[in-house]
Amino acid sequence: MTYPGSGLGLLPDQYIDISDRLIKNEEDGTKSLTDPITGLGNLRRMKLKTDKLIEQRDEDPAPFSIGMFDIDRFRPINDLFGRKAGDEILSQVALRISAALPENAMLARISGDMFGMVLPTCFFEKDALKIGELLRDVFAAPFDLGERIVRVSATFGFCQYPFAGATFDELFDKCESALYQARKRGAASIQVYTHEMAQAVRQRTQIEQALRKAVAAQEIEAWFQPVVNLHTKEVLGFECLARWTDAELGEVSPAVFIPLAEQAGFIDALTKQLFAKAIACARHWPDTVFLSFNLSSVQLVDPTTALAVLLMLEKMEFDPRRIKIEITETAMMSDPQTAERIINDLRAVGIRVLLDDFGTGQSSLGRLRDFSFDKVKIDRSFIAALDEDEQAGHIVRAIVNMCDALGLGVIAEGIETAEQARKLVELGCSAGQGYYFGRPAPADATIALFEKAAGARDPKCCSAIAGCCGD
């Protein structure tokens, strides 16, 4: 079945809620409440309707739902077939969805290809899910644009009053979170804001607040994992890894708190104090031993990053040639130009730049050619696979050969067994790190390592000092 176009692009009167008309009459007339393309109410009208419902439900405490959906891949349709076709689809969507919604519901176009719904008699999560499924089916029929027929789908998010919020803004926010969650699962998905989502948000807020305090109190610690020469077991340097233990939350992984600090906007403060702590520790190591430091994606889109690193090194009078900066491919990709500038600025003063987690992101070979790296760190997934998978060996060998040809050094990550270390040597890899050689350890432990080693046979041999690879 195909649905006819609305022609005028306006909704017939029966689809416009009477209460919305009343609201309109109450308005001073200066602000429009109607979307000119579809004839539906706009975001403002959706808010007025929701506010009114909230007011009514004050006396009658029954829940209700609001929802939103956006059309998947709408922009390419606009680009491909023109704005007029895009507007026609919006009008047809308005018609179809209005016809499918319960009588007392309200549909609004809230922006671009995004629509909002107020559903006064949709009380529970399961009801919202049902409506979502129904509307998804409504999208299944093609849209008739006259000269052509187009198929589109939409992704849906819903939430319930009062569980998700007591005001329109709160409800809208939660509905957006549900839609965001649905989008992550892919086109035509439906997500209702659930207790689990609420719990995740609460937990996130709790971690963020605790982290903010921890950063202010300089409580994030620098730990260090050795990088060794796979032939001699000599410690070549250490990678600094952030560690945070909160009194209530316990140990929180950097894979959780680093992205959180990025999103909450205090990654710079965190990085700065961590870098200072790392340098303070590295001073106690022999000056042939390097310090490797991770930069996050947010820092690679900030043109002042290189300067901040250099200023810190100058202030702490630390030799830039002992520093390696690790960056991931994904982190570089949001703003390659700025990332390139940062890389070049760092390298200009002798800092070495490492491409971290190689093999995970898009790993385009072009990336290695276009950017000037000094070394590549092979992701630990390949090293783990060496045990079971012959292919993994071929891949590692290919990466090592390619890097050799490009004049790049290679470090293998995540080496956990003697057998993996042996294979890596066989495959031509000469540097590595992993639990087999040493787990990340606090600053004191690294310093003690070298002090203890001073009396040992081979002063920089990891096995001699740490007893971590003694076979």
Question: Is the CB of 20 or the CB of 268 nearer to ligand C2E?
Answer: 268
Asked whether position 329 contacts Ca ion by CB under 5 A, the answer is no
Asked whether position 329 contacts ligand C2E by CB under 6 A, the answer is no
Peptide bond into 162 cis (omega under 30): yes
Question: Is the CB of 190 or the CB of 353 nearer to Ca ion?
Answer: 353
Q: Which of 72, 166, 153 is nearest to 112 (CA)?
A: 72
Residue 213: left (phi > 0), alpha (psi -120 to 50), or beta?
Answer: alpha
Per-residue x/- mask for ligand C2E, residues 370 to 389, rule CB under 6 A? ----------x---------
Residue of the chain from 440, 443, 461, 466 that contacts ligand C2E (CB under 6 A): 440
Residue nearest to Ca ion (CB): 326
Number of residues that bind ligand C2E (CB under 6 A): 22
Question: Is the CB of 241 or the CB of 453 nearer to Ca ion?
Answer: 241
Q: Which does 219 bind (CB under 5 to 8 A by kind): ligand C2E, Ca ion, none?
A: none
CB 340 within 8 A of CB 371: yes
3-state SS assignment for residue 31 = coil
Question: Is the CB of 109 or the CB of 324 nearer to ligand C2E?
Answer: 324
Asked whether position 357 contacts ligand C2E by CB under 6 A, the answer is yes
At 149, phi and psi to the nearest 5?
-115, 135
Sign for the CA dihedral angle at 439, 443, 446, 452 comes to negative
Write down the least CB distance from residue 360 to ligand C2E, Å: 9
**Residue list 254-273, contact with ligand C2E (CB under 6 A):** 254-255, 258
Cα 66 to chain centroid, rounded: 27
Question: Is the CB of 157 or the CB of 432 nearer to Ca ion?
Answer: 432
Write down the least CB distance from residue 386 to ligand C2E, Å: 12
Residue of the chain from 38, 91, 98, 225 that contacts ligand C2E (CB under 6 A): 225
Tokens of 106: 């309200």
Q: Report CA-CA distances (Å) from 99 to 12, 86, 107, 130.
A: 10, 20, 10, 16
- Report the C-alpha dihedral over residues 378, 380, 385, 390, rounded to 10 degrees: 10
Give the active site residue among 55, 103, 413, 419. Answer: 413
The interface region with ligand C2E, picked from 50-58, 146-154, 289-297, 309-317 by CB under 6 A, is 289-297
Q: Which of 69, 67, 73, 62 is nearest to 46 (CA)?
A: 67
3-state SS assignment for residue 309 = helix
Question: Is the CB of 49 or the CB of 380 nearer to ligand C2E?
Answer: 380
Write down the least CB distance from residue 273 to ligand C2E, Å: 10
Per-residue x/- mask for ligand C2E, residues 123 to 162, rule CB under 6 A? ----------------------------------------
Residue 265: left (phi > 0), alpha (psi -120 to 50), or beta?
Answer: left
Asked whether position 435 contacts ligand C2E by CB under 6 A, the answer is yes
Residue of the chain from 72, 221, 326, 329 that contacts Ca ion (CB under 5 A): 326
Cβ density class 331-341: b for 16+ within 10 Å, e for less: bbeebeebbee
Residues 137, 396: Cα–Cα separation, whole Å:
48
The interface region with ligand C2E, picked from 120-128, 235-243, 300-308, 403-411 by CB under 6 A, is 235-243
CB 39 within 8 A of CB 16: yes
Question: Is the CB of 99 or the CB of 276 nearer to ligand C2E?
Answer: 276
Pairing of strands 250-252, 235-246: antiparallel
Asked whether position 357 contacts Ca ion by CB under 5 A, the answer is yes
**Residue list 286-325, contact with Ca ion (CB under 5 A):** 294
Residues 123, 163: Cα–Cα separation, whole Å:
11
CB 95 within 8 A of CB 11: yes
Write down the least CB distance from residue 25 to ligand C2E, Å: 56
At 76, phi and psi to the nearest 5?
-55, -35
Annotation marks residue 413 as catalytic: yes
Question: Is the CB of 171 or the CB of 220 nearer to ligand C2E?
Answer: 220
Write down the least CB distance from residue 440 to ligand C2E, Å: 5
Give me the residues that bind ligand C2E (CB under 6 A), please: 225, 240-242, 253-255, 258, 274, 294-296, 326, 356-357, 380, 414-416, 434-435, 440
Give me the residues that bind Ca ion (CB under 5 A), please: 294, 326, 356-357, 413
**Catalytic machinery residues:** 413
